[in-house]
């Protein structure tokens, strides 16, 4: 039924709009592929941020782009070697309350992400 509806809809939508949408995605992918230095810079920045919380294997990082339905997704595979636990409980005078809360939440997500990586 959904398939039928989809076919019906795609038949009804003028092909120029389909072409436009496809072009938009194709060009986006092409431009990403064309800029390896951008991908490298992104990789570096990602790793820098994540390394604040966990130790990662810089050599084995993979950053890819995958075309999903209506957008491009960035997929990063970052092997985690160990969690940096011994961070002092009170970092040198964090400016406000809000950033501190954010940080603790972030740490929790990275810690759980570390588990499957540790198993491999």
Binding site for other proteins (CB under 8 A): 14-17, 19-20, 22-24, 26-27, 30, 34
Residue 13 DSSP symbol: S
Which of residues 15 and 68 has its CB atom nearest to other proteins in the complex?
15
Q: In the complex with other proteins, which residue's Cβ is closer, 25 or 61?
A: 25
**Closest separation between CB of residue 95 and other proteins, Å?**
42
Burial of 32 (0-12, 13-18, 19+ CB in 10 A): middle
Closest distance between other proteins and the C-beta of residue 81, in Å? Answer: 38
Whole-Å CA distances, 54 to 26, 39, 64, 113: 35, 22, 21, 10
């Amino acid at each position: 039924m959904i398939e039928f509806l989809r076919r019906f809809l795609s038949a009804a939508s003028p092909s120029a709009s389909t072409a436009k949408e496809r072009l938009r995605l194709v060009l986006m992918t092409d431009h990403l592929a064309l800029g390896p230095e951008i991908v490298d810079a992104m990789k570096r920045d990602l790793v820098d941020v994540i390394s604040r919380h966990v130790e990662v294997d810089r050599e084995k990082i993979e950053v890819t782009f995958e075309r999903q339905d209506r957008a491009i997704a960035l997929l990063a595979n970052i092997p985690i070697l160990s969690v940096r636990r011994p961070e002092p409980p009170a970092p040198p005078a964090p400016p406000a309350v809000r950033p501190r809360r954010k940080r603790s939440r972030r740490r929790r997500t990275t810690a759980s992400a570390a588990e499957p990586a540790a198993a491999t």
